[in-house]
Amino acid sequence: MLAGMTTNVVFGLLRVAVLVAALKAADGEIADYDVAAANTYVWIGQGLLGFVLLWGTNELAERVRSGDVVVDLYRPWNLQGALLAEDVGRSGYAFLTRLAPPMVFGMVLFPFQFPQNAFQWPLFALSALIALVISFGFRFLIDLSSFWLLDNRGLYGFWNISSGLLCGLTVPISFFPEWAREVLWLTPFPAILQAPIDVFLGHGDPAKILALQAFWAVVIIAIGHFTLNRAVRKVVLQGG
């Protein structure tokens, strides 16, 4: 836990340094980011990626690979719901250990852009929670691919590499050229990280952002539900 926090903060420092240097080179402002907003963006992002479990564990895929997933399938539960519940439970803990520390760190030691309206705080919390559901939905789909691929580590690795860029972790999505920005906002990826950050920073209309997030959460959970049913009906379960 301590090691995780340290890594998290060290990466935060690196990202702040790079981003602030870029801002200075661009006369203090890029798109809708000044130095304070950039700091806030980095520290919230560092916290969120642990909270929404952007890079998850691939645990279900491993269980599919070993065949242990039969035990999960024997239970009188909705597997997707059960795993989501597990993630939500974990996020409660992650809030204390992963989300709060880097945010407090950033607030205390760096120029920090606090929300202008008090209601942005609960909206941010709600947005982060929906982001968690979407992130779970994505990881669940990647995990389920192992029913067909037998070994999904390639796909999983691809997700680990690309998700940072697509979700707005590497640089804010508003830094992208206009066409890329438009394309990205048509995908569910920004809803996982950029959306809650935007709600916090007051970029864009929070109601619109939350509605978009809710839409993607429903879509991705529905696809997961459908895919799980297919996986269970169609696919070979490994091991005797």
Partner 1 sequence: MIEVRELRREFKVATSKGLRRNYKTVTAVDGVTFDVQAGEAVGYVGPNGAGKSTTIKMLTGILVPSSGHIRVHGVDPSRQRRDLAKRIGVVFGQRSQLWWDLPLKDSFDLLRSIYRVSAQDYRTRLDECVELLGLQELLVTPVRQLSLGQRMRGEITAALLHAPELLVLDEPTIGLDLESKERLREFLADLNARRGTTLLLTTHDLDDIERLCPRLMVIDRGRVLADGPLDDLRAEVTPERELVIDLREPGPAPDVPGVTAVRSEANGLRHHLTFRRAETTAAQLITQVVRQVEVHDLAVVEPEIDDVIRKLYQRQLDQPVTR
Task: Report the distance separating Cα 42 and Cα 16, nearest Å.
Answer: 6
Cα-flanking dihedrals φ and ψ of residue 30, to 5°?
Answer: -125, 130
Q: Is 104 in the site for partner 1 (CB under 8 A)?
A: no
Among 3, 122, 186, 233, binds partner 1 (CB under 8 A): 233
The three-point CA angle 12-13-18 to 5° equals 100
Q: Is 1 in the site for partner 1 (CB under 8 A)?
A: no
Residue 122 binds partner 1 (CB under 8 A): no
How many residues touch partner 1 (CB under 8 A)? 16
Q: Token pair of 49, please?
A: 């990626």
DSSP state of 33: B
To partner 1, the closest distance from the beta carbon of 107 in angstroms equals 34
Q: Decide: 206 and 91 in contact? Cβ < 8 Å.
A: no
Of residues 69 and 209, the one with the C-beta less far from partner 1? 69
**Pick 89 or 157: Cβ nearer partner 1:** 89
CA dist., res. 196 & res. 137, Å (int): 17
Q: Per CB under 8 A, does 96 bind partner 1?
A: no
Q: What is the largest CA-CA distance in the chain?
A: 65
Q: Using the rule CB under 8 A, is 240 a contact of partner 1?
A: yes
- Cβ of residue 95: shortest distance to partner 1, in angstroms? 21
The interface with partner 1 within residues 35-74 (CB under 8 A) comprises 67-68, 70-71, 73-74
Tell me which stretch binds partner 1 (CB under 8 A): 21-29, 76-84, 101-109, 118-126.
76-84
Beta bridge partners of 30: 33
Distance CA 167, CA 188 (A): 8
Binding residue (CB under 8 A) for partner 1 from 18, 34, 77, 222: 77
Handedness of CA 114, 208, 95, 61 (dihedral sign): negative
The binding site for partner 1 (CB under 8 A) comprises 67-68, 70-71, 73-78, 82, 232-233, 236-237, 240
